[in-house]
Structure 1
Amino acid sequence: MKALLNQGGLFGVLKQLPMKVLAGPLLIIMILSMMILPLPPFILDVLFTFNIALSVMVLLVSMFSERPLDFAAFPAVLLFTTLLRLSLNVASTRVVLMHGHEGGDAAGKVIEAFGQFLVGGNFAVGLVVFLILVIINFMVITKGAGRIAEVGARFMLDSMPGKQMAIDADLNAGLIGEDDAKRRRAEVSQESDFYGSMDGASKFVRGDAMAGLVIMAVNILGGLMIGLLQYHMAFADAARTYVLLAIGDGLVAQIPALVISTAAGVTVSRVNTEQDVGEQMISQLFVNPKVLWLAAGVLGLLGLVPGMPNLVFLMFTALLGGLAWWLTRTSEQRLVETQEQQTVPTAPEAPEASWDDVSLVDTLGLEVGHRLIPLVDSRQKGELLGRIKSVRKKFAQDVGFLPPVVHIRDNLELGANSYRVTLKGAEVGRAEAWPGRWLAIDPGQVSGQLDGSPTQDPAFGLPALWIDAEQRERAQVYGYTVVDASTVIATHLNQLLHRHAAEMLGRHEVKRLLDKLAKDSDDKSLIEDVIPKTLSLVAFTRILQQLLNEDVSIRDLRTLLDTLAEYAPHQQDPMELVAMVRVALGRAITEQWFAGQETLHVIGLAPSLENVLTQAMSGNGALEPGLAETLMTQTEDALHRHDASGEPPVMVVHHSLRPLLARFLRQRLHHLVVMSQAEIPDDRILRITTEVGGAP
């Protein structure tokens, strides 16, 4: 600060301060000054004109905003404009009562114009007009806007948990990044703050309307008393002078107040779309030719009734009829153009077959019905392509390799709303999605019922409903997780990618991983000690595929190669090598399922069942059919009980039993994770909360 003062004095300091920092304090000082200091009539004219211009600007900004948060400063603006009008009322009241006897322009040209021109100098008409404006502002606009703001604040607060769950679901599914999640959480918080502020700020407008009525009554009574008692004016002259000035003062304050109240109503009553209020009204009122034809017919009939203003009614009949005819003709032309574009041209003579006709199978494909095409069409603002890119990026970060590109194409043999995911030409998943509707997923703790089409979440099999957009906020309030059609497909694809990760990993992908490790670590000796010196690339690929089959990330290639370099020269059995690698990766596997938890609540085997399985393993290494079915049934029951407690679906068994049980149980229970006791780090506490083969 001392350096700034030395450079240019106080003026230099003020010049370098940003004006937007000083705008608020200067405005408050100006408002307080108007209440305390007497103002000349010319300054009052300038401030009244500024008040009118500011109210018009606020109305226009609210009209052109597409979302309420685009005008998040509106509650504060509402407070400042209300204080500005009240301070102007105080300043004008002082001038009217002190100098009103000098003539109609004693309080400025603006008050005189509103008192003379707008009501024709008739104070009775002025009183009626002023009261009507107050009633409209107080009883209609501000009351309705206040009620909408109150209900909006309540519903916004109730829907916050559901919106937060939807953001967390998108983040966990990899559809959005951490930055996008933070931004969306901030928007939810800002919406809640905005509607809460609007609920309180609407009370300022109602109080302003009542204050205007009281101030006008005080001006009339005070002016009459001053004119009669202090300046000895005749009653008629005093009434004409002071009543007209009070009316002008009231009107010049109430008209901007009415405009601001309208802006508040527009802001809180709008629906979140990509259009402003004007575009919404035009695109929804004047879009249906049938409505315009019927309206023109009704006005035409009224125009033919004797005694009615025929010219005006028939003029509007012609206007609406012409607009309806133009809309009808435009829609017909669009239909003809669409049919012409869909007309299939005559097929030319088929050429000879060539190698170009050979179509290779796509590793990963997504086929959609014709109603889902807009979701994958960027020209129609389809969001699915971007979400699929996010899913692939998240998969690569979590699992450790880049999945194949998803080839998307339409399939007319599918249902209109159906889609299917293919892997190497074979179908691995199929479901339905409804564009324009929302999937309300029941996580198990909803508090109300909705109207919709029952279905199941294709990714996790949870009960769900396809609901209309109007029920979205209600569903979030009830505790449903609400997602759109693009998110449904992307989440389903993400789940299928993790389930079939091993099938997507081939020698080409493994070679790319090894090249990346050699490039990043600049240490090729570790790789050469294992591949091809100890293991072939094919054998190494089989080990990675087995790890992926068991939901183990292969990101830590260095630890994986270190382990194989130590044990592979003495052990060639791939399953034994996988078991050793899992022990080396035990801390990462444990952290994947029990992040930050010191005590691990898991599923375990009853001692009697564990002895039976150990004896079976020591014999021929296979399970008897009866024992296998009993084990599968009891494990499935235990997994249901364990899932109900909210714990990860992890079973911990003896190290020698893990490969057999993992291979056998995951045939039906895909989401079950089987770990060995040797994989649990020593600093974690293992606690068996659900037992297989014991008492339920």
Structure 2
Amino acid sequence: MNLKGATFSVFAIVIVLSMILPVPPSLLDVLIAINLSLALVIFLNSINIKESLDFSVFPSLLLFTTLLRLALNISTTRQILTGQGENVRIVYTFGNFVIGSNIVVGVIIFFIIIIVQFIVITKGAERVSEVAARFTLDAMPGKQMAVDADLNAGIITEEEARERRKKIQKEADFYGAMDGASKFVKGDAIAAILITFINALGGLIIGVAMRGEDVTEAIQKYLLLSVGDGIAAQIPALLISTATGIVVTKAADESKLSESLIKQLFEFHPKVLYTVGGILAVLALIPTMPKISLFFISGSMIAMGFKMSSSLKKIESIEDRQIEQKEVEELRKPENVVNLLYVDPIEVEFGYGIIPLADKDQGGDLLERVVMIRRQLALELGIIVPTIRLRDNMALKPYEYRINIKGVEVARAELMSDSLLAINPGFVIEQIEGIPTKEPAFGLDALWISSSLKEKAEMAGYTVVDLPSVIATHLTEIIRRYAHELLTRQDVQKLIDNVKEVNPVVVDELIPKLMTVGEVQKVLANLLKERISIRDMVTILETLADWAPTTKDTDILTEYVRQAMARYITKKYVSGDVLEAITLSPEVEEKIMNSIQKTEQGSFLNLPPDYIQKLINNLSNILEKLVSVSAQPIVICSPIVRLYFRRLIENIFPDVVVLSYNEILSGVQIKTVGMVEV
């Protein structure tokens, strides 16, 4: 424990002991002076803080100061009732100052101070604390969602998001604590009234009955000391109650309270000062009114208004010049051109009719769905999905949206307002009324239906989704399709760093000795292009470390990685123990192997165009038969041929899965459902 902590602990123990043990009058004077000083420090700090959290220790301080005042009340009560109250000079001086020569007036003034303290200040501060705590706690989920939305939109960084969440939590804790701590102030005010009454009545009984003092003398003596004790306790209590009200009513303003009051009360509207000055001048003309005072204040208000008006004009002129100069400087800065060159990796633009779907205040949950998309794809593909920008575009139709990848449009669709999308999965038992359309993500047959037909459509076998789900599903599919383009070297470096934390050996062996980050990126992009998850980075890097010494061809390395991930690929595409697949005839495989040309820039397939056309036509016929029975098109071939055959057909049949025999576990039976021949 440091010196400050030890001093505070000793002081707290002294306060508690003073309730039990007698305290000398001289020490009691010191403690009362400390109590008053501490109250002034708290009051002035509450005025000068910029926001409530700057004084986060305030709830605990309320308990401490309340305990201090109660301890002092008990100690002064002991002195008053034992007849030594006049030795406590601060108490005697306060009582003598308030009561003076007229005891009745003094007592009335004291009770007025008590009423102001208890009914006005304390009651108001307690109510404000209660309401502030309630609204802060109610607003907490919305604030946290706003932070998530800003983070998802790229407005703030992860670090800033953490800081904002921490501040939201601190605000909730602070106002919750203030709600409870304000009860200390109320209890202290009630206790002060009772202690003052006990001091006066008890002192009067002890003085007259036990000490034989004169009744008038006893009333004068004990009322004076009781009132002095009450005032000595109530002045600090009044200051701290006021400080409580100031802290809990502090608005979200970056300036101090004193600066805000002067600026907002006088500097913004000089016409108000002119009006007040005019009204006071009219009042001064009424007979019996204090003309000199009113004319003086009226003139001061008008002069202040004139001064503020002149200052505002100068400030506006300076601000205009600064704005013009800043605009010129901004145009000259090369950074402005650089900012314009930045392209968002993923961007969703939508017409004004879709705005409510993304607006939380209107019940939209599209922002939440976008956050879930990023989490879902991180688990599914193992990639870090970049920030997805959502923005409105008045050039689009009201219910139209489009998805851009790196600034280029890759998908566009139009929704129907106040409708649901009923998708036909292929086994609908009953047709329903609706407007025919195509589901935007997969091109399935669908209908736009009213919400009243939802139950009927589901019973008929349709899959019914709402508008946000349509956009979210489409966006998810687009990201899957273009994941290989979205993966950057920086993302790959983050994935590698993540592996290095638990498997540093494989990373140190592979990078940069055998491969660069860019070469690893090419391998990962090849996997993502065929929708193979890269979440198992340890297996991928281990395989690359095994084969990188023998070849630098990233396409060949990708094939080795795929073979190492045979268990994952088998589980992804094989249901049960049988794989139904299209095979290549031995002649076709031999023709492809003989046509592989290798150069320094890589390898490619050199086949005659007419042969390629016959190959594509034959495959197309087989695929049409499979699609008619809703079977997933999978082609299986030898490991050497797989890469080149996939490249041959990927632009024409992008959804056809091409596997090699080495990517299927040995226990799986391959059933041929078609053979590609030429």
TM-score range normalised by the length of the shorter chain: 0.5 to 0.7
Deviation at 1:626, TM superposition (A): 13
**Residue 311, structure 1, aligned to residue 292, structure 2:** yes
* 1:192-211 aligned within 5 A: 192-211=172-191
Q: CA deviation at 1:204?
A: 1.5
Q: Distance in 1 between matches of 2:342 and 2:79?
A: 81
Aligned to 1:450: none
CA deviation string 1:119-159 (max 9, x = no partner): 43422122112111111111111111111222222233333
* Contact 2:22/2:78 (8 A) holds in 1: yes
Cα 1:91/1:427, change in 2 over 3 Å: same
Which residue, out of 64, 74, 89, partners 1:80? 64
Match of 1:620 in 2: 619
Aligned to 1:92: 76
Note the C-alpha offset of 1:311.
Answer: 2.5
Tell me what 2:263 maps to: 283
Tell me: CA distance 1:48–1:360, structure 2 relative to 1, closer, same or farther (3 Å). closer
Seen in structure 2, the aligned counterparts of structure 1 residues 603 and 502 have a Cα distance that, compared at 3 Å, is: closer
User: Conserved in 2, the CA contact under 8 Å of 1:655 and 1:678?
Assistant: no
Displacement after TM superposition at 1:298 (Å): 2.8
Alignment of 1:209-224 (within 5 A): 209-224=189-204
**Would you say 1:268 and 2:267 are equivalent positions?**
no
- Residue from 57, 62, 73 that aligns with 2:46: 62
Once the two structures are superposed, the pairs formed by residues 353-368 of structure 1 within 5 Å of their partners are 364-365=342-343
* CA positional deviation for 1:318: 2.5
How many equivalent pairs are there? 500
Task: Summarize the Cα distance change of 1:275–1:544 in structure 2 as closer, same or farther, 3 Å threshold.
Answer: same
Say yes or no: does 1:71 pair with 2:55. yes
Secondary structure, counterpart of 2:87 in structure 1: coil
Residues 310, 362 of structure 1: alpha-carbon distance in 2 compared, 3 angstrom cutoff: closer
- CA distance in 1: counterparts of 2:658 and 2:300, whole angstroms: 77
With over 3 angstroms needed to count, the CA separation of the structure-2 counterparts of 1:611 and 1:323, relative to structure 1, is farther
Q: Distance in 2 between matches of 1:551 and 1:326?
A: 73
The 1-side partners of 2:241 and 2:662 are apart by 67
The alpha-carbon distance between structure 1 residues 56 and 654, as it changes in their structure 2 partners (threshold 3 A), is: farther
Judge conservation of contact 1:220–1:242 (CA < 8 Å) in 2: yes
**1:131-210 paired onto structure 2 within 5 Å:** 131-166=111-146, 184-210=164-190
Distance in 1, Cα, partners of 2:175 & 2:86: 43
Q: What TM-score, normalized to structure 2?
A: 0.57
- Tell me, what secondary structure is at the counterpart of 2:98? coil
Counterpart selection for 2:279 from 292, 298, 311: 298
1:152 and 1:96, CA in 2 relative to 1: closer, same or farther beyond 3 A? Answer: same
- Tell me what 1:321 maps to: 302
1:249 and 2:216 matched: no
CA distance in 1, matches of 2:489, 2:17: 80
Q: Which residue number corresponds to residue 473 of structure 1?
A: none
**1:483-562 mapped onto 2 (5 Å cutoff):** 521=509, 526-527=514-515, 544=525, 547=528, 558=541, 561=544
Equivalent-residue separation in structure 1 for 2:105 and 2:192 (angstroms): 17
**Structure-1 residue corresponding to 2:317:** 336
In the TM superposition, residue 301 of structure 1 has moved relative to its aligned partner by: 2.8
Secondary structure, counterpart of 1:117 in structure 2: helix
The partner residue of 1:108 within 88, 91, 95 is 88
Q: Give, in angstroms, the shift of residue 259 of structure 1.
A: 0.8
1:565-576 matches, cutoff 5 A? none
Instruction: Work out the CA distance in 1 between the residues paired with 2:22 and 2:481.
Output: 79
Q: Matches of 1:589 and 1:133 in 2, distance apart?
A: 82
Q: Residue 619 and residue 26 in structure 1: after superposition, are their counterparts in 2 closer, same or farther (change >3 A)?
A: same
Compared with structure 1, are the counterparts of its residues 277 and 506 closer, same or farther at alpha carbon in structure 2 (3 Å cutoff)?
A: closer
User: Take 1:361 and 1:77, find their aligned partners in 2: how far apart are those partners?
Assistant: 49
Check conservation: 1:552, 1:589, Cα contact below 8 A. no
Deviation at 1:270, TM superposition (A): 1.4
Q: CA deviation at 1:178?
A: 6.8
Question: Deviation of residue 262 (structure 1)?
Answer: 0.8
Name the SS of the counterpart of 1:76 in structure 2: helix
Mapped partners of 1:54, 1:280: distance in 2: 25
Kept after mapping to 1: 8 A contact 2:114/2:193: yes
Residue identity opposite 2:283 in structure 1: L
Aligned counterparts of 1:272 and 1:504: Cα–Cα separation in 2: 40
Residues in 2 aligned to 1:35 and 1:303: alpha-carbon distance in whole angstroms: 57
2:92–2:228 CA contact under 8 A, matched in 1: yes
| Aligned twin of 2:206 | 226
The answer to whether the 8 A contact 2:523-2:557 is kept is: no
Q: Distance in 2 between matches of 1:320 and 1:231?
A: 61
Q: Distance in 1 between matches of 2:628 and 2:263?
A: 63
Q: Confirm or deny that 1:123 pairs with 2:103.
A: yes
Q: Give the counterpart letter for 1:259 in structure 2.
A: L
Identity among equivalent pairs (%): 35
Question: Secondary structure, in 3 states, of the residue corresponding to 1:106?
Answer: helix
Question: Partner of 2:86: helix, strand, or coil?
Answer: coil
CA shift for structure 1 position 258 = 0.7
Q: Secondary structure at the match of 1:128?
A: helix
1:81-102 CA-partner distances (Å, limit 9, x unpaired): 11211111111112112225xx
- Going from structure 1 to structure 2, the CA distance change for 1:613 and 1:141 (only over 3 Å counts) comes to farther
Structure 1 distance, partners of 2:218, 2:65, is 32
Q: Which runs of 5+ in 2 are unaligned?
A: 329-333, 345-373, 387-394, 396-401, 413-476, 585-614, 637-641, 666-678
Equivalent residues in 2 for 1:471-486, closer than 5 Å: none
Structure 1 residue 251: Cα displacement: 0.9
* Residues in 2 aligned to 1:630 and 1:128: alpha-carbon distance in whole angstroms: 98
For the Cα contact (< 8 Å) 2:526–2:558, is it kept in 1?
no
Equivalent AA in structure 1 for residue 306 of structure 2: W
> 2: CA distance between counterparts of 1:91 and 1:243?
17
Q: Matched residues in 2 for 1:360 and 1:110: separation?
A: 70
Superposed, 1:356-435 pairs within 5 Å as 364-365=342-343
Supply the AA of the counterpart residue of 1:80. Answer: F
Shift of 1:235: 2.1
State the distance in 2 between where 1:141 and 1:154 align.
Answer: 20
Q: Distance in 1 between matches of 2:64 and 2:411?
A: 58
- State TM-score, norm by structure 1: 0.56
Given residue 221 of structure 1, which amino acid in structure 2 is its aligned partner?
L
- Separation of aligned partners in 2, 1:543 and 1:217: 83
Q: Structure 1 residues 568 and 170 mapped into 2: Cα distance closer, same or farther (>3 Å)?
A: farther
Cα offset for 1:625? Answer: 10
Partner of 1:443: none
Deviations 1:403-449 (A, max 9, x none): 9xxxxxxxxx9xxxxxx99988868999xxxxxxxxxxxxxxxxxxx
Tell me the alpha carbon deviations over residues 482-521 of structure 1, each in whole angstroms, 9 at most, x when there is no partner: xxxxxxxxxxxxx99999775578999999x99x999964
Measure how far apart 1:222 and its partner are. 1.8
Which SS does the other structure have where 1:286 is aligned? helix
Deviations 1:297-320 (A, max 9, x none): 333333333332233333232333
Taking the aligned partners of 2:262 and 2:478, their CA distance within structure 1 comes to 45
The amino acid of 2:264's aligned partner reads Q
Distance 2:163 2:514 in 1: 43
SS of corresponding position for 1:84: helix
For 2:629 and 2:204, locate their aligned partners in 1 and report how far apart those are by CA, in whole Å: 101
Provide the C-alpha distance between the structure 1 equivalents of 2:77 and 2:651, rounded to a whole number of angstroms.
89
Change (3 A) 1:313 1:586: farther
Q: Give the CA deviation at 1:114.
A: 0.9
What is the distance in 1 between the residues matched to 2:168 and 2:662?
42
Matched letter for residue 10 of structure 2: L
Bigger mean CA offset, 325-334 vs 121-130? 325-334
Distance 1:34 1:107 in 2: 17
